[in-house]
Chains A and B, each alone.
Chain A
Amino acid sequence: MSNTLLIAGLLLLMTMAYVHGRRRALSSAAGRRVALHSLPSYHGLYIALWCGLPALALAILWLVLEPSIVRWMVVASLPEAQRSLPSGELGLLLNDVRNLAPGNVAGRQPDAATAAAVETYRTLKSIVFWAMVAAVTAVAAFGFEVGRRAIAPAFRARQRVERTILWLLVAASTIAVLTTIGIVLSLVFESARFFDKVSPFEFLFGLEWSPQTALREGQVGSSGTFGAVPVFAGTLMITIIAMTVAVPVGLMSAIYLAEYASPRVRAWAKPLLEVLAGIPTVVYGFFAALTMAPAIRELGTFLGIEVASESALAAGIVMGVMIIPFVSSLSDDVINAVPQTLRDGSLALGATHSETVIRVVLPAALPGIVGSVLLAVSRAIGETMIVVMAAGLSARLTANPFDAVTTVTVQIVSLLVGDQEFDSAKTLAAFALGLLLFVITLGLNVVALTVVRKYREMYD
């Protein structure tokens, strides 16, 4: 909360600087606006930017670095016995310290060393905070002074301000690149640590996945095997089931909407289909677990087939429904982009409407449709909540859609949710799976976008 106040104070300071700058510019020109090179508001903005930007940058840098510095200082203040603890236990102790500091944890009485650490932490926290306030204020005041000195009737304030804003725009546009770099670095870095413990060969081609690791030394059956093949097989199966639902339904709806439907039907059906895309995936997951899975199980019992209660079929079908609008709206665009002349030519030769669609329009639209299906596949592979709620946890190598299978995303969630130690192979395995997921979906996207772009150029 105090940080929010600090930012608010800084914004107030910037406003004051702006007002002051305006006034000073006007008075420097003795009230004759024409004598100024730039409008007074640019002079105001110039001071405000000088006053605010460096201070804001400092505050953000400070807030980012503060936790690790305070942590380091607390560790340094601990007695030798605790400082030499293994890193895991030290982390727990520091967590305790951080939780106890606000003084709201009743019940457990901390031991003397911890209490002392809590005290150190508290004082350090407040010293660091007030130091930050002082530093930020000093920088803001310095910036204010620098800006103030520059103001003169001939000063080219507008150019300066515009150049600064342009740099800010450039910085904003690089955020997307930075995000990608962040994703790649974090996944690669954590995966590399995983591959230190488990060989990449075993991970990529191993046929057994049971990520339980030992809680104690020498526990039975707890070494953990990390062969990702069954996990990917499960993902593939659910994706195939989803696609067998989504592609025919989505494609036929798109054809109907683009070629047959009257404008009135189209105006109603298209938004309704898009509602399916707007429903949160957790709702689909609930539907799959609560309605679809029991229904399929009952159907199976009726037909005399044994169906697991978390069958791949239930998750796959519901995921397919979720993807229908995705396939249909992309294919709709693609079909609409096929030139009318092709249709007219086919109809003029005596083909019926459906023959025109099947023999002329679809072949012409095929690359675009393939692209949209690839995008849909990538979405199905990365989909999480439906499978977390409706698919199984145990990795099994099976081709039976009535069996329970697990997927990459389910494994990532189950490995990372709940208690975790950051260094075990179990936790790091999630990042290795994430890296593979990222690479696969990225590959599919790049191919799909290239195909779609090529296709678009063909008819433009």
Chain B
Amino acid sequence: MTDAPLPIASPRRPNLSRRRARRRAAERRFRWYGMAAIGFALLVLVVLIGGIVRTGYGAFLATEIGIDVAFEAETIDPAGTRAPATLSDANYRTVLRKALAGAFPQVTAQRDQQALMGMLSSSADFRLRGMVLDNPSVIGTTQRVWLKASADIDTLRKADDIAVATTAGAGALQLLADGATVTLRAGPGAFTGLFADLAARRPDAVTNGRATLGSHLPGYMVETADGGLLRLTSFTANEATGDILLAPEAAPAQWFTLIVSPPEGDRRIDDRELAWYRALDAQGRVRTVFNTTLFTSADSREPELAGVRGAVVGSLLTLVICLLLSFPLGVMAAVYLEEFAPKNRWTDLIEVNINNLAAVPSIVFGLLGLAVLLGFFGMPRSAPFAGGTVLALMTLPTIIIAARAALGAVPPSIREAAMGMGASPLQTVLHHVMPLALPGILTGTIIGMARALGETAPLLMIGMVAFIVDVPGGFTDPATVLPVQIYLWADAPERAFVEKTSAAILVLLAFLVVMNLAAVILRRRFERRW
């Protein structure tokens, strides 16, 4: 009876199922796009945080070099008075130079001694002075002092990007010294391995079976068991000539060949310094410790001496001003607008204004601060007071909006009950509505403060970018804040500051995580829903 439609429907059937398959595929594809979008965003998040942790964790560690320092009375305090002025003015660089000469007696040239000094941070002599001033009885003794290494040595140890391939040498090594250069012989074919390596890497360095080396080529060295180190300048498969980096014994029992890459010209550490570093390391006189300087000192031009303390204190001072201004004003404004304001054009204007102010670019607030706070009111430049005021104006809309939402969420029955008991409108709000809305208000405030903590641009405008070496002591001292410190370090050319920047970012993120967690906990524990 219903045969009639069949002739029409049957040719369409395969078509239909194909269409359905296509539609299902489109459905799957669409769903996949959504997942890919979220996946992309999360991937970037992971790359971002992961990259910062990877480059930044090293800054929490510091390299120290142990030097046996003789605190000789005749250098420090020849008169023997132990007067603090004498002790403080003594020449501790001489003390240090003598100590280094003791560690490397074979380094005599003045330029080399200077370079040796350069392996230590420039604060090393202050450290010695501090030791003597703290405890004058060290004078006359010899002590192993762990001194901060320079940024280059620190980077060398942490980055570990100088590859040293060591192979044991065969045959007895003979050394024929002629001034500073040495001829090395160790039987036929002793240097075949090195030769093959160089010929494979840089065939252009080999002519007529002889390799000539230079600072643009990887370093080829010979190390002896007693700690001597020779840098080869040219070699054949059987014989080599080289410079002495660290003097070996005449007939070493055992020897090794080293291939050091990248070439000397491509790294900040030259072969000499590398040799000294290896010697110190072999003697157990290089160690890695937790970097307390990062948390105890303010900014510095020397990467190994720079810390975030000044910036953290500056941020805290700025946030205190910001909180003191924006919290009371924001809550008061919210109470008025939500509870008392009549519905008229003026209130509408305020409302539109607040919403728009929340979306004004932060740098415009910086311009406001520069023109009005600094230019008109004459507030001190670079000070947390001006910075905090600008940030307070910026966070005010956030706090007002959050506080209004929290006040609005309190059910009218609370207000009616309070009024019914004879409370005045203000008493109703202050005694009954506010306590219930407070967790919500505080949550909004903390989030606003977290945003203020991460803000950089407006503070650049009011001069908080100055290079400041002191930890600020008050609201009107020149200061910088954590994000601006990050900006300054990110701009610094030294490689060691990259690590510092990442570490400062980690510190900033730690503060933000704590604040946001506090907000979440506050919301979970105290927020009531009606």
Contact = CB atoms under 8 A, between A and B. Distances in A.
B37 A352 contact: no
A182 B360 CA distance: 13
Contacts, number: 254
Given A186-B372, A281-B456, A430-B367, A354 B27 contact: yes
Interface string B372-383: 100101100000
Contacts of B502: 286
Chain A interface mostly: helix
Contacts of A253: 34, 37-38, 41
A179 B336 contact: no
A176 B41 contact: no
A256 B337 contact: no
B486 A269 contact: no
A43 B306 CA distance: 56
A35 interface: no
A378 B337 contact: no
A169 B332 contact: yes
B24 interface: yes
Contacts of B364: 183, 187, 382, 434, 437-438, 441
Contact of B27 (A186, A352, A431): A352
Interface string A174-218: 111101101100110110000000000000000000000000000
A51 interface: no
Interface string A265-301: 0000100110110111111111101110000000000
Contacts of A388: 457, 460, 487
B371 interface: yes
Contacts of A190: 371
B91 interface: no
Interface string A147-183: 0000000000010001001101110111111011011
A409 B460 CA distance: 12
B41 A276 contact: yes
Contact of B367 (A273, A290, A434): A434
Nearest to A245: B40
A413 interface: yes
A173 B51 contact: no
Interface stretch (A11-19, A117-125, A391-399, A442-450): A442-450
A238 interface: no
Interface stretch (B79-87, B180-188, B207-215, B393-401): B393-401
B41 A437 contact: no
Interface in B25-77: 26-27, 29-31, 33-38, 40-42, 44-45, 47-48, 51-52
Contact of A176 (B48, B333, B362, B453): B333
Interface stretch (B193-201, B261-269, B351-359, B409-417): B351-359
B34 A256 contact: yes
Contacts of A130: none
B363 A275 contact: no
A286 B335 contact: no
A442 B359 CA distance: 8
Nearest to A352: B27
Which residue, of A172, A441, A442, has the highest number of chain B Cβ atoms within 10 A? A172
Contact of A385 (B36, B333, B336, B456): B456
Nearest to B520: A271
Interface string A367-383: 00000000100110111
Nearest to A445: B359
The 5 A-B pairs with the shortest beta carbon distances in the complex, nearest first, are A382-B361, A256-B34, A280-B454, A252-B37, A172-B332
9 contacts: A166-B426, A177-B350, A253-B37, A256-B38, A281-B456, A282-B486, A283-B48, A355-B23, A389-B487
Given A166-B336, A169-B333, A382-B361, 19 more contacts: A158-B424, A169-B332, A173-B332, A175-B396, A176-B350, A177-B349, A180-B353, A276-B41, A282-B483, A283-B505, A286-B52, A353-B27, A353-B30, A354-B29, A412-B367, A416-B367, A434-B364, A434-B367, A449-B356
Interface of A: 1, 4, 64, 67-68, 71, 158, 162, 165-166, 168-170, 172-177, 179-180, 182-183, 186-187, 189-190, 248-253, 255-257, 259-260, 269, 272-273, 275-276, 278-287, 289-291, 321, 324-325, 328, 352-355, 357-358, 375, 378-379, 381-385, 388-389, 409, 412-413, 416-417, 422, 430-431, 434, 437-438, 441-442, 445-446, 449
